[in-house]
Amino acid sequence: MLSRTVGASGLRVSRMGLGTLTWGAQTDSRDARTMLRRFVAAGGSLVDTAPAYGSGTAETIIGRALHSDVDRDDLVIATKAGFTVDGANRVVDTSRSAMLRDLEGSLRRLHTDHVDLWQVHAWGDAPLEETCEALDHAVRSGMARYVGVSNFVGWQSSAAATWQRAGLSRMPIISNQVEYSLLARRAEIEVVPAAHHHRMGVLAWSPLGRGVLAGRYRGGTPRDSRGANEQLSWFVEPYLTEKARAVVEAVARAGTGLGLTPAQVALTWVRDAPQVSSAIVGPRTPSQLTELLDAEQHSLPAAITAALDDITGGPNLLR
C-alpha cells in the first residue's frame, strides 16, 4: 500500500487507515485482530482509535494484538483524548488534566510507551492554550510523537495551528481528522482550505458516508447493518435521504462501468482528494476490509471524478 506524509510533517502513513470505532461492540476481538493482521500484511500502517471507542475496548484489542499478531513498529497508532461517553451522555473535557489522564489510560491499554499521533478529539470549553500545552507536554515527555486535532471546523483548526506556530518550543498541529465523503463535502468549505494554508494533512473519517455509499441500503435497511442497530441507527439516518440515494446510485453506476464496487469508488474518490493524507475506513468484518483493500490498485479516471464532484456539490476548488 502506498504511503503519504501527513501535511508538512515527517510522519508517513498508509493512504488508507484502519478505524476501530466498532471494535469490541459490533466487531468482536477475533475479527478485529484478523483485520489488523490482514491490513498490515497489505502494507497498511495507520490504525486510528480512541478511549471513547467501546469505552477503551478498541485500544485494549490493539494492545493485545501487539503481543501476538503484529509488530509495534509496523503500526502508526493514532489515538485521541478529551472526549468520553458516559452512558447516554457525551462528555467533552479538553482540560490539561483530562487530556493527560486519557493519554495515560490509552498507553496502558495499548501496551506501548508512546502513540505516533495524539489528537484532540473535539473542540472543548477549556482554554485553547491549556489544551495545546497538554499536546506539547505529551511530545516533550515522549508519550506522543506528533499531535493533531479531530472534528475541528476551519476557524478552530486555524486557531490551534496559529497558536502552536507562535511559540518556537510548541509542537505543530500536523493534522485534522474530519468526516469527508461524497455525502459529506462540507469539509471543503473551510476545513480543507485551512489545512492547506497551515500545511496540515486531512485524515478523512467515514469516507463511505457512514456505510451508506457501500450500497447496502439501496433496497432497504439490512437487519445486520448499522442502520438497524439500536445504538448506531442515529449515525446512519441522516444519509438515508432521497438526495443521498441519488448519490449512491451515481456511485454504483460509476462502479459498474469501472468494474469496481460502490464502496471502492467512494473510498478512492476520498483517498485521492486534495490535502487528504489518509482515508480512514471502519469495516466491521474481514470481508468488508478485503473489498476495501482491493481498491488500492485502482484510481478513478478524471472524467468520473469530475462527474461525481458535479453530482455531489460542484468542483473541488483545490483539485
In this structure, the chain runs to a length of 319
Q: Which three cell numbers stand for residue 211?
A: 456505510
Closest listed residue to residue 239, CA positions, set 207, 265, 271, 269: 207
To the query of whether residue 239 is one of the catalytic residues in this protein, the response is no
- Positive/negative CA dihedral, 60, 62, 66, 68: positive
- Tell me how far apart the alpha carbons of residues 186 and 100 are, in angstroms, rounded to a whole number: 31
Q: Which three cell numbers stand for residue 66?
A: 501487539
Residues 6+ apart with CB under 8 A from 318: 188, 192, 193, 196, 274, 275
Helix ranges, the chain (H): 29-41, 57-68, 96-110, 128-140, 154-165, 191-197, 233-236, 242-258, 262-271, 286-293, 302-311
Catalytic, out of 53, 146, 180, 239: 53
* In contact, 279 and 295? CB cutoff 8 Å: no
* In contact, 81 and 53? CB cutoff 8 Å: no
**Distance in angstroms between the alpha carbons of the first and the last residue of the chain:** 23
Measured torsion, CA atoms of residues 26, 31, 32, 37, in degrees rounded to the nearest 10: -160
Q: Active-site positions?
A: 53
